[in-house]
């Protein structure tokens, strides 16, 4: 006699299948939650790190602002006292016109006061917080003006100045501020080429605006100097104030632009000033 078959309740099979489906869905949801939690944790860590960097940058800027106010006050006071001292030195030079030894000593004193005057001027330019007076003008005319003013120094150091800017190219900026920035960059280039060389000033147009490149064929920038090149009071010169390139950076920022430094493909350093394009209706050229 055959054994009876085991009967299976279809309802129990359906319930088991539903349970498996629910467990699988629960497992999938749990994995997704874990992945979302990990992603959120990583994002929070990244945002926290970025916030710390921003807070340090804000604290640094606040310290620089306080330092700038103090430096501006000191610079004005020093300048007020330099004016009469310079006058007295000039009067003393006339009285000692026949005493060569005394004149030599006086010239050394005068050189010290001139160096101090340069430092005061750098401090005043660095702490200056005025808004740029924007106008469109010929970039080549401005650069030619800088070249003319430094022509004796170029000749003395045997520097060949190459200007590669089209006559019709204009830039919208504060002319005096831009002139100061270019002058600082050119003087910085002269300092690294005491035995002569070539200084090339060129410009290009990019999507963002005008780029002005000032390239020397000096020794270039070392890896430890490059990241700090625009920091206030950072200098590799024995007699430098460390404000020349910081002033350039401040001027670029005031115009909504940037300045960068890099080593050229053929040696030397290249500084690039970037200024936004002139806005519509502001194309009138100034002399």
Express each pLDDT in 237-254 by its tens digit: 766 667 788 889 988 988
Closest CA to 163 of 216, 213, 200, 203: 200
Q: How many domains does the chain have?
A: 2
In terms of domains, do 38 and 116 share one?
yes
**In sequence order, what E strands does the chain have?**
135-138, 159-164, 170-173, 197-205, 209-215, 258-263, 269-276, 285-286
In terms of domains, do 156 and 118 share one?
no
Task: Please indicate, yes or no, if residue 39 is contained in any of the structural domains.
Answer: yes
Distance CA 276, CA 287 (A): 20
Spatial neighbors of 263 by CB under 8 A, at least 6 apart, are 220, 221, 226, 269, 270
Residue where a domain stops, chosen among 103, 129, 155: 129
In terms of domains, do 71 and 36 share one?
yes
Spatial neighbors of 278 by CB under 8 A, at least 6 apart, are 136, 170, 171, 172
Closest CA to 218 of 241, 197, 248: 197
Q: Which residues pair with 198 in a beta bridge?
A: 160
In terms of domains, do 118 and 185 share one?
no
**196-228 pLDDT tens trace:** 999 999 998 878 788 999 999 989 988 888 888
For the chain, the residue count is 287
Confidence of residue 15 (pLDDT cuts 50, 70, 90): low
Residue where a domain stops, chosen among 78, 112, 129: 129
In terms of domains, do 270 and 183 share one?
yes
Domain that holds residue 48: 12-129
CATH number of the CATH domain containing 232? 3.30.565.10
> pTM here?
0.63
Assess contact for 196 and 211: CB atoms under 8 A: no
Distance CA 116, CA 108 (A): 13
Q: If DSSP codes are grouped into helix, strand and coil, which group holds residue 62?
A: helix
In terms of domains, do 115 and 179 share one?
no
In terms of domains, do 171 and 54 share one?
no
In terms of domains, do 159 and 279 share one?
yes
In terms of domains, do 152 and 272 share one?
yes
In terms of domains, do 144 and 281 share one?
yes
Higher pLDDT, 278 or 84: 84
Residue where a domain stops, chosen among 129, 163, 194: 129
pLDDT at 272: 94
Percent of the chain at pLDDT > 70 equals 81
């Amino acid at each position: 006699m055959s054994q009876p078959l085991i009967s299976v309740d279809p309802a129990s099979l359906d319930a088991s299948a539903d349970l498996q489906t629910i467990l699988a869905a629960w497992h999938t949801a749990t994995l997704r939650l874990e992945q979302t939690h990990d992603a959120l944790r990583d994002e929070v860590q990244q945002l926290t790190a970025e916030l710390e960097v921003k807070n340090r940058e804000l604290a640094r800027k606040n310290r620089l602002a306080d330092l700038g106010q103090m430096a501006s006050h000191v610079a004005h006071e020093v300048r007020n006292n330099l004016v009469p001292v310079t006058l007295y030195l000039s009067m003393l030079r006339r009285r000692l016109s026949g005493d060569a030894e005394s004149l030599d000593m006086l010239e050394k004193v005068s050189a010290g006061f001139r160096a101090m005057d340069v430092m005061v001027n750098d401090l005043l330019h660095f702490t200056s917080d005025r808004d740029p007076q924007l106008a469109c003008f010929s970039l080549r005319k401005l650069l030619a003006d800088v070249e003319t003013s430094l022509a004796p120094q170029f000749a003395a150091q045997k520097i060949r100045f190459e200007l590669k800017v089209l006559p019709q190219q204009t830039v919208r900026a504060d002319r005096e501020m831009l002139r100061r920035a270019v002058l600082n960059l050119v003087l910085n280039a002269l300092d690294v080429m005491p035995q002569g060389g070539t200084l090339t000033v060129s410009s290009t147009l990019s999507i963002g605006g005008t780029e002005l490149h000032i390239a020397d064929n000096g020794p270039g920038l070392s890896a430890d100097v490059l990241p700090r090149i625009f920091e206030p009071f950072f200098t590799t010169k024995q007699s430098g104030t460390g404000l020349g390139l910081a002033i350039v950076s401040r001027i670029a920022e005031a115009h909504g632009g940037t300045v960068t430094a890099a080593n050229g493909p053929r040696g030397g350093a290249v500084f690039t000033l970037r200024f936004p394009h002139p806005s519509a209706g502001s194309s009138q050229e100034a002399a």
